[in-house]
């Protein structure tokens, strides 16, 4: 397991706050209320460990396959439905959405190899990630990957707690399947828009692993 670079600053600040709080607790509280000082230590240590775990990147063998589209994020499948995309395709698409809780890994990956032909950041609201309108009204960042099979759109969507979306890609860039697309801090969702008729390999409510679980298959 490694720590994502987006976490270095947050973890350093968290460790400093942990140290300051517990040093203060030791000098001013522990002599008279040792039990309270102990509780403060346990709670702050738990928060620091949670912060570290949030930025973890576990070691895993990535799944690849020219005819496969791989899940771009860890989490739970919450939507599989046809919709009309007004942003890029201007027509019907099959949407698969993965909700990431704060306990999930928040690195986002490329579902297939190809060329980035679209990359756009959108300002927006911070509705809860499972809200039906979060896909179109929340802060979000969309990219489209194109290869010989076709095009897919991957959309990083902010939520009520997610206040920072990071995307590392640019138009014209060639990407490999299951490599890094970006990162979302503190819980949200990723939508994948597929051509209608694409064979979906996941189900509603299924727990999936980014870069590992096959999401769909080209015909």
DSSP, residue by residue, the chain? -EE-GGGHHHHHHHHHHHHHHHHHHHHHTTTT-HHHHHHHHHHHHHHHHHHHHHTEE---PPP--TTEEE-SSSEEEEEEEEEEETTTT-EEEEEEEEEE-TTS--EEE-SS-EEEEEEEEE--B---TTSTTHHHHB-EEEEEEEETTEEEEEEEE--SS--EEEE---TT-EE-TTSEEEEEESSEEEEEEE-TT-EE---TT-EE-TTTSEEEE--
131: tokens are 């809200």
Per-residue confidence (pLDDT) for residue 219, from 0 to 100:
81
Tokens coding 9 = 């600053």
Q: Taking all residues of the chain, what is their mean pLDDT, rounded to a whole number? A: 91
Rg (CA), the chain: 20
Report the percent of the chain where pLDDT is more than 70: 93
| Interval 98-137: pLDDT, tens | 999 888 888 999 999 999 999 999 987 766 666 666 677 7
Contact 47, 40 (CB under 8 A): no
Would you list the domain boundaries of the chain? 2-57, 68-217
Residue with tokens 């986002």: 108
Q: Is the confidence at residue 206, as pLDDT, over 70?
A: yes
Of the candidates 7, 191, 182, the residue with the CA atom closest to the CA atom of residue 110: 182
Average pLDDT over residues 47-67: 89
Please tell me the predicted confidence (pLDDT) of residue 131: 63
Q: Of 27-31, 45-49, 164-168, which gets the smallest average pLDDT?
A: 27-31
188 a catalytic residue: yes
Q: Is the pLDDT of residue 162 over 70?
A: no
* Displacement of CA 77 from its chain's centroid (Å): 13
Helix axes 8-28, 34-54, angle to 10 degrees: 180
| CATH T-level assignment (fold) for domain 68-217 | Glucose Permease (Domain IIA) (2.70.70)
Place of tokens 């203060």: 24
pLDDT bracket for residue 8 (50, 70, 90):
very high
Nearest-5° Cα angle at 110, 219 to 197: 25
CA distance 113 to 169: 13
What pLDDT sits at residue 198?
97
Please tell me which residue, 96 or 158, carries the higher pLDDT value.
96
**Residue-level pLDDT at 36:** 93
74 has a pLDDT exceeding 90: yes
State the catalytic residue, choosing from 25, 97, 113, 188. 188
Q: What is the pLDDT of residue 200?
A: 98
pLDDT greater than 90 at residue 174: yes
């Amino acid at each position: 397991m490694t720590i994502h670079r987006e976490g270095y600053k947050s973890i350093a600040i968290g460790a400093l706050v942990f140290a300051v709080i517990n040093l203060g607790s030791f000098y001013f509280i522990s002599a008279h209320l040792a039990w309270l000082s102990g509780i403060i230590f346990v709670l702050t240590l738990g928060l620091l460990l949670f912060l570290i775990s949030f930025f973890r990147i576990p070691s895993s063998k990535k799944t690849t396959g020219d005819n496969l589209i791989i899940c771009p994020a860890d989490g739970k499948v919450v939507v599989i439905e046809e919709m009309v995309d007004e942003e890029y395709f201007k027509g019907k698409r099959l949407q698969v959405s993965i909700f990431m809780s704060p306990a999930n890994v928040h690195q986002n990956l490329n579902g297939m190899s190809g060329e980035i032909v679209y990359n756009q950041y959108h300002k927006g609201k911070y509705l809860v990630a499972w809200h039906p309108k979060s896909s179109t009204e929340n802060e979000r960042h969309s990219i489209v990957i194109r290869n010989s099979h076709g095009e897919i759109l991957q959309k990083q969507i902010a939520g009520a707690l997610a206040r920072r979306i990071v995307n590392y890609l640019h138009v014209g860039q060639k990407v490999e399947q299951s490599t890094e697309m970006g990162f979302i801090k503190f819980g949200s969702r990723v939508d994948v828009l597929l051509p209608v008729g694409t064979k979906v390999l996941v189900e509603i409510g299924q727990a999936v692993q980014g870069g590992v679980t096959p999401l769909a298959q080209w015909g």
